[in-house]
Amino acid sequence: MASHIVGYPRMGPKRELKFALESFWDGKTTAEDLKKVSADLRSDIWKQMSAAGIKYIPSNTFAYYDQVLDTTAMLGAVPPRYGWNSGEIGFDVYFSMARGNASVPAMEMTKWFDTNYHYIVPELGPEVKFSYASHKAVNEYKEAKALGVETVPVLVGPVSYLLLSKLAKGVDKSFDLLSLLPKILPIYKEVIEELKGAGATWIQFDEPLFVMDLEGHKLQAFSGAYAELESTLSGLNVLVETYFADVPAEAYKTLTSLKGVTAFGFDLIRGTKTIDLIKSGFPEGKYLFAGVVDGRNIWANDLAASLITLQSLEGVVGKDKLVVSTSCSLLHTAVDLVNESKLDAEIKSWLAFAAQKVVEVDALAKALAGQTNQSFFSANAEALSSRRSSPRVTNQSVQKAAAALKGSDHRRATEVTARLDAQQKKLNLPILPTTTIGSFPQTVELRRVRREYKAKKISEEDYVKAIKEEIKKVVDIQEDLDIDVLVHGEPERNDMVEYFGEQLSGFAFTANGWVQSYGSRCVKPPIIYGDVSRPKPMTVFWSSTAQSMTKRPMKGMLTGPVTILNWSFVRNDQPRHETCYQIALAIKDEVEDLEKGGIGVIQIDEAALREGLPLRKAEHSFYLDWAVHSFRITNCGVQDSTQIHTHMCYSHFNDIIHSIIDMDADVITIENSRSDEKLLSVFREGVKYGAGIGPGVYDIHSPRIPSTDEIADRINKMLAVLEQNILWVNPDCGLKTRKYTEVKPALKNMVDAAKLIRSQLSSAK
């Protein structure tokens, strides 16, 4: 019985690629150095999967930034501002598209479906001249072959690529991106021919858009595209892979009828309803790649249950046509449990990271073929039983408190306009008040202090002294820049979710459980294994300390319950909303303690609220109801004069703007600059927003420093659709990934722009 892995983590077990990328970007190493690190990582991954017995091993899943940007490079779809005209696309153009450079901004970045991974959004239109400009897919296939490993080259499918794109600036909104299929398919044909020439026998097209709600003409585009590719694909086995949700019935019909396609891959973890579609009809003679091992979470597979599922499918498609697979790429999980020293033995036995999931896939394939590893299956059953019965998982008082939430919507008693009046009397802010989102640059020295404190190499007294000095530095910088509402810079935090999880019960933490978010940015998601509560205050000391250093308002900085949930590996033994309500109650305790501690402005970040929105519209309402309710629980008990902020980053918000309003925050700061100010369009279309709002005025994910005039122009665009008395001026997101040499001039220009517009508004009266 055959086995398959959809994709694998790229960063390496100890984030080797992250450090290689950052060293290259800083000019400390060469392109050849970066290529060697990545080649070594690819070699290790391919050999590991081959040794584990995996038959269908992916190649071309190793991106320096993301797989959609790789496809943009392959198609030569480089926006004109980057100055590329022809030839093989190199690192300079590739990374300029991803990160911007000194003279031009980066392309838009957004979330990859409902994950915390990101991709660079292609900018397309009728004038784009496509050409075969990156041979990476073929080169990586040849690279693996030279190592003695036969792989399945993976390409982002042509229809999904176009549907994940956006119209380039200036392109008429009526332009249909799918009309570009005839222009990009010839390039796909060139790639396919080169792969065939290099000896490839299989090819995988990732077409995740099949799981979305698609109109008929979009489904027809899939049929037309693969019909056009059919003759070129002749002689190859072709897998079309889907993931992240059920495939709708109509899409399933289209998918399983595609010309030239040999195999179909389905996520049977998040798409359990697809099993019924398969059982009701699967094309004879085709392969089913059954994604029964979860690629998005870290819990050990229930091998016995998965085997039952596989055996039922075997009766439908035939023994020789069933392939055991992961539900999606393992990119979304941590790399290897072997590297974990922090986890205790009991919790560790409940988990499987990417390397362990490869072993699970192989074990299931062998069991299906009658070669069951009894000791492996027995150990798995014991671990599952241990998790179900462990007293660490259940806290009756927490469950009782969460159950008591039913029957109330937890809204603040006073309308937001009245609250804003009370807050202005207390805060006395100018129009267009300036602030930042929370974090300031995380210097090498600051990281060293935190690392040495965790390793018990320095005393708590020395640690507190160092963090206080860093807070004072950040406060002084903001006062010198004349920012109105300050932050303490979060020097005590490595990560906005990990920091809180470490202080909440029901969470466990890894030493090396890193997961790529975008580019070189990695996060280490906490593991929520049990009921959640807050044993003691988490941020009050640091926020109160920072407030004592200034007479200006100091924001208390918290991460909201939905974001903690969506940026963690969440327990799968109870509904997600129940876990979220537990987290909300814990954050509510912290909010009320901050207020008692003299903090009058409290920011509860919900950066990931939009990210968790289900992919199917029929499921949106239920999710938004409990997600928004969870946020309101956190702050329903504060006084009118306490100003509650929230922040949301890289997402599409227009379709959920009414839910954002329903959160009932006093001020929301929100990504705007990198997405061509799409957010503002919702207000142009007549949506009324009465609370404070700060659409980001510059992109912090790029090293580029915007000018005062550029920021002032953005503010004026905002004032065209928003009242001046509710508009805030702030960057898109936190500043932790930037350097002070970038942050100081950018913030100075931001404050100068706000003052310039204030002066113009005053003169106009």
522 assigned to a ligand binding site? yes
The answer to the question of whether 647 is labelled as a binding residue is: yes
Q: For the residues of 661-675, what is the DSSP string, one character each?
A: HHT--SEEEE--GGG
Does the annotation place 649 within a ligand binding site?
yes
Amino acid sitting at position 558: L
Q: What is the 3-state secondary structure (H, E, C) of 47-66?
A: HHHHHCCCCEEEECCCCCCC
Q: 328: annotated binding-site residue?
A: no
658 in a labelled binding site = yes
Q: Look at residue 434 and give its three-state secondary structure.
A: strand
Q: What is the DSSP string of 274-314?
A: HHHHHHH---TT-EEEEEEE-SS--BPP-HHHHHHHHHHHH
* Degrees, nearest 5: CA angle 642-504-512: 120
490 is in an annotated binding site: yes
- What's the start-to-end Cα distance of the chain, in Å? 78
> Kindly report the CA angle at 41 between 77 and 144, in degrees rounded to 5?
75
Our answer to whether residue 645 is catalytic in this structure is no
Cα gap 236→238, rounded to integer Å: 6
Alpha carbon 420 to its chain centroid, in Å, reads 33
Torsion of CA 215, 217, 220, 225, to 10 degrees: -110
662 annotated among ligand-binding-site residues:
yes
Q: 508 — phi, psi (to 5°)?
A: -125, 160
Tell me how far apart the alpha carbons of residues 173 and 168 are, in angstroms, rounded to a whole number: 10
* CA count, 13 A, side-chain hemisphere, 726: 22
Dist. CA 637–CA 625, nearest whole Å: 20
Q: Is 733 annotated as a binding residue?
A: yes
The answer to whether the Cα torsion of 488, 489, 494, 500 is positive or negative is positive
Neighbours of 686 (CB within 10 A): 7
**Active-site residue, from 118, 332, 629, 701:** 701
Report DSSP letters for 117-146, one per residue.
-EEEPPEE-TT--------HHHHHHHHHHH
Name the binding residues for Zn(2+).
Answer: 647, 649, 658, 662, 671, 733
Name the binding residues for L-methionine.
Answer: 437-439, 490, 605
Name the binding residues for 5-methyltetrahydropteroyltri-L-glutamate.
Answer: 18, 116, 521-522, 567
Name the binding residues.
Answer: 18, 116, 437-439, 490, 521-522, 567, 605, 647, 649, 658, 662, 671, 733
Catalytic residues: 701
